[in-house]
Amino acid sequence: MGMKDDYIFSVAVTTSRGKYNNQDYNTITTIGVMPLDDEFKQNMDQITEKEKEIMLIWFKAVNEMDK
């Protein structure tokens, strides 16, 4: 998970025991991209790099809870 320009992105690779189009797959890869709105960008400009790291760790933890 990370930030690049005006986007937050995440990549997750998980195990799979299902079929897709009658094919067996061992993993599922999910890529998420979320654009930052203007208010969020302004807030990001005002926080420290350490606060940004903590925020990204929090986003990752929330993403992991959904699994």
The per-residue pLDDT for 38 is 79
In the sheet that 2-4 helps form, which strands lie side by side, from edge to edge?
A: 2-4, 7-15, 27-35
**Domains of the chain: total:** 1
Of 26, 24, 45, 28, nearest to 36 (Cα)?
Answer: 45
The per-residue pLDDT for 63 is 67
Q: Which domain holds residue 15?
A: 2-65
At residue 21, the 3 state secondary structure works out as: coil
The per-residue pLDDT for 8 is 82
Of 20, 2, 23, nearest to 11 (Cα)?
Answer: 2
Q: What is the mean pLDDT of the chain?
A: 78
